[in-house]
Structures are given as structure tokens and as C-alpha cells.
Amino acid sequence: MEAAARTANGGGRSDAARLVDDDRVHRDAYVDAAVFARELCTFWASTWQYLGHASQVPNAGDVVTVELAGRPLMLVRSSDGTLNVLFNRCAHKGTKLVDDERANVGRHFRCPYHAWTYALDGKPLGVPLREGYEGTRLASCSSGGGLAPIRHVAVHRDFVFVKLGDSGPSFAEYFGDALAALDLLADRSPVGRLEVAGGVLRTMVRCNWKIYLENINDTVHPMATHESAVAAARSVWGDRPEAAEKPMAMEQILPFGAPFEFFDKMGARVYPNGHSVLGTRHSIHSGYGRLPEYEAAMRAVYGEARAAEILEHAPQNAVLYPSLAVKGSPQSIRVIRPLAVDRTLVEAWSFRAVGAPDVLLERTQTYNRLVFSPMSIVAHDDLHLFESIQHGLAAEGNPWVSLHRGHREGEELQRVQDINGTNELLMRNQFRAWARFVALDDEVAP
Amino acid sequence: MTANGASFGHELEALVGDEAMLLDAGRFDDWLALWDAEARYWVPLAGAAQPDDERGQSLADEDRMLLELRVARLRHPRAHSLRPRVACQHVLQRSRVEHATADAATLVTPFVYVEVQGANELMLAGRARHRLVRLASGWKIREKRVDLLGAERPLPAVQLFV
């Protein structure tokens, strides 16, 4: 089906959806600032975004601030232990209540501008010169209602998600079985609990967010893209026998040189709404050293079958579209934030699996540092290419980005579909979701 | 020459200066030769706020093997992120000798680091702390800890050695 035929009503919104064909994407999806502006109002407001992890706000009054699709938000722990998500904007004149990335505000918020105060759930507490508001319409205005909450918040295994607008599916419907990736990550802990640990590596990439996200599912690039890093690792590691115990860094970098066949056979699964798991059979993380004591403890807690499922699940990446990419081993997630049509923030977070040996966190931090740090030699070649694409798409003559690999006429998305690891259905699936949600009505803007 | 002599201090400062000069000149093999076998090049993620003994996250934390890997990659013809050419300039403030004996010394050197590729320029500022040791072959760098100003902010790729 031609994309153009799908869009009934003309105008800006449906124009964006028109950019996606079954097997290719128009460059404007990546480079057109008007499309990006539309995305912020529709796509990013009608899909579920990862906001943060409950372990970031362990105590009452703890706050983390997040800028999500252009909106300043706060994740807040209330005195009764519940989590609130509020807009970080004073109801009076718009001042941000919290400037730091992390803070503890005590028992209430207090605006530094005119001292308006709010409870931890955002309800208004007090304003100075109360008598000046007598007989005014403040109480009936949203300015009198306190800090605006995000209405759609869902927490799964301590991972906090939000949907900014009222359009789009419910949390359960949106993610469906793809949420199992978070269960498998959290269950790496024998007590089923994760804690963020050791800081977050942040990279500013001068490309559209979709380029970064597609690459998370791109198994065909490592051989060419990472040739220099792999060749350097091999030259330093030398001719040591296959069985020689590798330092952690070598254990993590050398598998980037695996052949196409390895990546093709790793297998993948796509879900409705853009989600996916890449590496359903194996991945570059499968060969990390075994930990017999930990594995025995896991079997004791979870039983043989579930323990095997957890321990053998080390996908290349599971994508909870569009803001989160999850690994299982290492316990690493990447968070993707759109900043501008040609600017994306990528954060790499490490988790401690509570009750698991320290070496798992060490692996995670080492992997994130070697592969996702702004100083990573593996990432340098990726980032360079993403920025190169952003510039290259300014070329005329061919407006299309090809996603033809593995496409078959009449390809439809089933509830769950297993495919080979090099099939670009992993990206086509993302764009089908994008085309659907970018065309929804904007219910966020006033 | 004694640990207290002026020429001793100059020799240590000269080593810190040479280290930056060799990076700026792209002479990476000569740069590696300045390092001890037990090398550590460390850029903590929390910058100066990160305690020496904390196992926190780092932008880079590399032993001799990883430094050699990095240099081997810089030489690789398909290290395409280095095209167009990437160049750097360290601007060093005078080093302060924090501690020195006949065989070991610590110098702290505030710096500005500029990395340029094509039209893009990246500027970082901070403080480097060199731990030097005297071996039979002369003074070597055992550790270089780089505390960046704003190390935790989002950064673009930093491709060479700060």
C-alpha cells in the first residue's frame, strides 16, 4: 500500500504520516523541522515514554527533573511513598520549581520567585498576599489549581513511564508482551529489584533521534562501522588461544567483530507499536564468563525453568519504542530524548541487581563506559555516521531511506513475529508505529 | 639533583608539558612511551567530586592495554570517525607540584582542551593530576586523572586524549 493512500485528510498532520512507505522512509522524517515540531505535539504525546526509575527517588521529597520531548517534568516521591509526575512549572508565572537534576525539596515545593508553595503531589498550599486574590478568578483558572500533574503514569517493575497527552493506547495495550524485557532485566536480581548505580553517561548526538534508534536494531553495521575498533582490539590481544581468559574489556569489545551470519542467526521478535527484541537466540553478550554461585542462587529462587530463561536472555537490545533500549546482561539501558530535528540526547544508565554479585554491576559499568561514553572508541564511529547521515540527507536526487532488506509484499504486523536478526522489519516496524502516532490529534497543546 | 631542587621540579613539569605536546602533535607512540606499564588514564564522570577510591562511573578508565588499543585504532585506515582530520590543542597552566620524593611525584595542572574536526569545535576545561614514578628508564606517568569541569553534562564525541 502506498503511504499516500492511507491519509484521508490533508494538512500538516497527515503529511507527516505520508513520509512512510512499507519499505522506505522519506528523508523529511529525519530532516524537516516542521515534521519534528509536529512529532512533539502528536507522536511524543500519544506514545508512552520512559521517564525514570523509582530508585532515583528513594525518600519522601526526592525529585528528579527530566526534559521530555521539550516539556520540563519532575518525578517526585511523596510522603506516603507514592510517585507523582508533575510539570516543573510554577502555576503562577512559569518558573521551574527545581533546577537541579536531583534534589530533595523537603515537605513541599516553594517557588523561588514569589514563594508560592505546593504539596509534593502538586496541590496548592499557599500564596503570599492571599487577600489580593479575593474576588478574582484565580480559583477557577488552572493557575489556582497547583502544579499540573501528568495524568497518564504507569510503573512497571520500578520503571516509570508517562504519556503526555490523552490520545493513544493504554500502557498495557501499548507495550503488551514487550514489557517482558523489563521483567527479565529486573529478575537478574534474586530479589527482583534494581537500583540505578554509578552515574549516567550522556552523549549529545547531532542527528535526528530516529537515526540513533534505528541503529539500535541494526546488526549489519558492526562489521564495517566498528572495523577499526575490532582490528585494534585484535592487534592488542594478539594470538592468545581462544580459551585464554580475557580481561573484561576484551570480552566486551572483541564480539563486535562477529560475522554477518552471527548477527543474522541471533534472531529477533517484533511487537505492535514499534517494540522489538533483537537477539532472541544469542547476542554479543552471550559469551560473558559464567558465575556458578550466582546461577545456583538464581535457580534456588526462581526454579530451574525461569532461572534459565532469565540467565539465557541476553539480547542485543530490546526496544520499548521510542524512548528506551534495554539489555539484560549487562544491566544497561539507553534512554533516547529528542531535542531538535538534528539533535538527540542519549543517556546510558547502569543498574545494580540487588542481591547479585558486584561483578554484574562492574560488567555493566565497564560496558557502558567502553561502548556508550562520549569518549568511547566504539561509539565514535557510530556517532560520526549518524551525524554524517543527518548531513547526507540534504542531498537531492534520492529522497528515500531504504529499509528494503527482507521485505515481502503484503508484509503485515502480527501480534508477535519472529524474524532473522538482519531483517530490516525491525526498523519498518518502528516506522509503522511512527506513522500511526504522528497522525493522531494533538491533545496536549491548549 | 635532589627532590627539592629547582631543576627537579622543572624536569617533572617538562614531562607533563611533553605529554600534552605529543598528543597535540599526534605522536601517539611517543606519547605511549611516556607511560609506565601500570598505566591508568582516568576521566571520572563526577569530575573533581569523585573520590579517588570510589568505584563510580567514568568517561574513560583505561589501563595500558586499552591505551594501546586506542592508539592502534587511531592508526587504523578505517577509523572513519577521524575524517575529516581531528586535531587537539592543550593549553596548560603552570603545574603545581603537590607531592614529590626522589621516586614519586604528583603534579596538578589546570588546562583548557580544544578539539576540532571540520567546522566543529569542542572546548573542555579542567585539571589534570599526574602521578609520576621514577624507574631505571627515567620518570614515567603511572596515572593521569582528568577532572573535567561539567564532566556529567551531555558531551559530543571526544575523540582524542584530553
Average pLDDT rounded to a whole number, residues B48-65: 92
Is beta strand B58-63 parallel, antiparallel or unpaired with respect to A108-110?
unpaired
Average pLDDT rounded to a whole number, residues A296-324: 96
For A198, which of B56, B77, B154 is closest by C-beta distance?
Answer: B56
Flag whether A54 is in a domain: yes
Among the candidates A155, A170, A200, a domain finishes at A155
d(CA A328, CA A181): 8
pLDDT band at A5 (very low <50, low <70, confident <90, very high): very low
**ipTM confidence:** 0.95
- pLDDT recorded at residue A2: 37
Q: Is the pLDDT at A272 greater than 50, yes or no?
A: yes
- pLDDT recorded at residue A445: 45
Any idea what the CATH number is for the domain that residue B133 is in?
Answer: 3.10.450.50
A283 and A385 co-located in one domain: yes
d(CA B123, CA A51): 30
Whether A200 has its CB under 8 Å from any CB of chain B: the answer is yes
A359-404 pLDDT, tens per residue?
999 999 999 999 999 999 999 999 999 999 999 999 999 999 999 9
Q: Considering its fold, how many domains does chain A have in total?
A: 2
Q: Is the pLDDT at A52 greater than 90, yes or no?
A: yes
Q: How far is CA B107 from the centre of its chain?
A: 12
Nearest-by-CA chain A residue for B80: A381
Average pLDDT rounded to a whole number, residues B5-34: 93
Question: Contacts from B67-71 at CB under 8 Å and sequence distance 24+?
Answer: B67/B32, B67/B35, B67/B39, B67/B41, B68/A236, B68/B32, B69/A229, B69/A232, B69/A233, B69/A236, B69/A249, B69/A253, B69/A377, B70/A232, B70/A377, B70/B161, B71/B28, B71/B29, B71/B31, B71/B32
For A374, which of B66, B76, B158 is closest by C-beta distance?
Answer: B158
A226-254 pLDDT, tens per residue?
999 999 999 999 888 888 889 999 999 99
d(CA B25, nearest CA chain A) in Å: 20
- pLDDT recorded at residue A13: 44
Whether B49 has its CB under 8 Å from any CB of chain A: the answer is no
Flag whether A11 is in a domain: no
pLDDT band at A198 (very low <50, low <70, confident <90, very high): confident
The residue segments making up the domain with residue B57 are 6-148
Flag whether B97 is in a domain: yes
Closest CA to A264 of A406, A93, A435, A428: A406
Flag whether B66 is in a domain: yes
- pLDDT recorded at residue A442: 54
Average pLDDT rounded to a whole number, residues A145-159: 97
Flag whether B155 is in a domain: no
Q: Is the pLDDT at B4 greater than 90, yes or no?
A: no
Flag whether A161 is in a domain: no
Any idea what the CATH number is for the domain that residue A150 is in?
Answer: 2.102.10.10
Contact B78 A206 (CB under 8 A): no
What is the average pLDDT score of chain A?
A: 93
A234 and A353 co-located in one domain: yes
Spatial neighbors of A388 by CB under 8 A, at least 6 apart, are none
Contact B69 A236 (CB under 8 A): yes
d(CA B43, CA A421): 36
Flag whether A263 is in a domain: yes
A56 and A191 co-located in one domain: no
Flag whether A184 is in a domain: yes
CA A203 vs CA A364, B69, B152, B154, B158: distances in Å: 17, 22, 10, 5, 10
B71-114 pLDDT, tens per residue?
999 999 999 999 999 999 999 999 999 999 999 999 999 999 99
Instruction: Give the 3-state secondary structure of residue B102.
Output: coil
A136 and A241 co-located in one domain: no
How would DSSP label each residue in A209-272? HHHHHHHHT--SSHHHHTHHHHHHHHHHHTT--TTSPPPHHHHHHGGGG--HHHHHHT-EEE-G
A110 and A192 co-located in one domain: no
A280 and A370 co-located in one domain: yes
Query: Best residue in A195, A212, A228 to probe B by mutation, most B CBs within 10 Å?
Result: A228
Looking at residue A127, the DSSP 8-state letter turns out to be -
Nearest-by-CA chain B residue for A345: B154
A146 and A236 co-located in one domain: no
Q: Considering its fold, how many domains does chain B have in total?
A: 1
Whether B81 has its CB under 8 Å from any CB of chain A: the answer is yes
Which residues of chain B neighbour A349 with C-beta distances below 8 Å? none
A131 and A252 co-located in one domain: no
Average pLDDT rounded to a whole number, residues A399-426: 92
C-alpha cell at position A155? 510503573
Q: Is the pLDDT at A3 greater than 50, yes or no?
A: no
Whether A253 has its CB under 8 Å from any CB of chain B: the answer is yes
d(CA A165, CA A178): 22
Contact B65 A204 (CB under 8 A): no
Flag whether A163 is in a domain: no
Whether B118 has its CB under 8 Å from any CB of chain A: the answer is no
Percent of chain A with pLDDT over 90: 89
Any idea what the CATH number is for the domain that residue A204 is in?
Answer: 3.90.380.10
- pLDDT recorded at residue B2: 47
Torsion sign across C-alpha atoms A186, A189, A191, A194: negative
Among the candidates A119, A138, A155, a domain finishes at A155
Nearest-by-CA chain B residue for A230: B73
A220 and A137 co-located in one domain: no
A313 and A276 co-located in one domain: yes
Among the candidates A155, A190, A210, a domain finishes at A155
Q: Is the pLDDT at A175 greater than 50, yes or no?
A: yes
- HEC string of A342-388 equals CEEEEEEEEEEECCCCHHHHHHHHHHHHHHHCCCCHHHHHHHHHHHH
C-alpha cell at position A344? 538527540
pLDDT band at B46 (very low <50, low <70, confident <90, very high): very high
The residue segments making up the domain with residue A354 are 180-437
Give the largest CA-CA distance in chain B.
48
A291 and A232 co-located in one domain: yes
For A203, which of B58, B155, B159 is closest by C-beta distance?
Answer: B155
Does the predicted TM-score (pTM) go above 0.90? yes
A184 and A300 co-located in one domain: yes
Contact A227 B76 (CB under 8 A): yes
- pLDDT recorded at residue B49: 94
Flag whether A297 is in a domain: yes
